[in-house]
Amino acid sequence: MKTMSNLYRAIIAVSAAFLMTATAFAQSTILVVDQNRILRESEVGKHIKRQLESIGKTMENELKSAISPLEAEGKTLQAELKALGQTDISTRPDLKSRLTSFAGKSQKQQIEAAYKQRELAKTEAIAYRKVSQKLEEILKVVVAERNADVVIDRQAIIYGKPADVTDLVLSRLNSQMRTVAVTRERIPRKQ
């Protein structure tokens, strides 16, 4: 019986703590910012996107220029293998050697493509980090102006109508930062 009484008291205590927390949270000033929209619609976000597309196209062209001779070599090898028919490839050590070499070159191109993907991702992360720093500065000012307690990203909200300051933050970001240097990052290659 005493255990039930203690359990009942514990449930009441937890419920009271929850209600006090919920009440305190309800009395807090909560601001909402749609970070994805800011990055998508801001001048600096659009600038970064254009720069990343340009860098990506350059990387793609580099890969294409390296792959073109490899594709030609592959077609030549394929034609020779087809001409060989059912004949054992061991009778042609030169062809076997060229196939091994081709496989190595193909693997190197795949590795190079993976490096370029990582380089582009790193370039993007560094560019957006600069914008995030500016956004943090702007949000600190807005929080102070609005005497807010909490800032939540729009995507984290399931229900409610807190004060959305996305337009204000977007406007201030556009007035303070229109471009940012987007420099292609390079990752050292392993030999």
Residue 47: exposed, middle, or buried by beta-carbon count in 10 A (0-12, 13-18, 19+)? Answer: middle
What is the mean predicted confidence (pLDDT) over 24-37?
82
Mean pLDDT computed over every residue of the chain: 86
Answer whether 67's CB lies under 8 Å from 109's CB.
yes
On whether residue 62 sits in a domain, the answer given is: yes
In the predicted structure, residue 71 carries a pLDDT above the cut 90? yes
Range of the domain at 100: 2-176
* Domains in the chain, number: 1
| pLDDT of the residue at 42 | 96
Q: What is residue 20's predicted lDDT score, i.e. its pLDDT?
A: 45
Residue 98 included in any domain: yes
**Of 184 and 18, which is predicted with more confidence?**
184
What is the model's pLDDT at position 92?
83
- SS3 assignment for 75-89: HHHHHHHHHHCCCCH
Residue 191 lies in a domain: no
User: Torsion angle, CA of 35/40/43/46, rounded to 10 degrees?
Assistant: 140
Q: Is residue 189 part of a domain?
A: no
Residue 69 within any structural domain of the chain? yes
**How crowded is residue 102: how many other Cβ atoms within 10 Å of its Cβ?**
16
3-state SS string over 115-158? HHHHHHHHHHHHHHHHHHHHHHHHHHHHHHHHCCCEEEEHHHCC
Structure tokens at 81: 């293998």
Prediction pTM value: 0.74
* CA 169 centroid distance within chain: 22
> Residue type at 138?
I
Mean pLDDT confidence for 54-73: 94
Residue 185 lies inside a defined structural domain of this protein: no
Q: What is the pLDDT of residues 139-171, one digit of tens each?
A: 999 999 999 999 999 898 888 777 899 999 999
Residues listed for the chain: 191
Amino acid present at 155: Q
80 domain-assigned:
yes
How would residue 4 be classed by pLDDT, with cut points 50, 70 and 90?
very low
CA angle 26, 27, 29 (to 5 degrees): 95
Q: Is residue 190 part of a domain?
A: no
* Average pLDDT over every residue of 165-184: 94
Give the mean model confidence (pLDDT) for residues 40-69.
96
pLDDT of residue 26: 55
The whole-number pLDDT of residue 11 equals 53
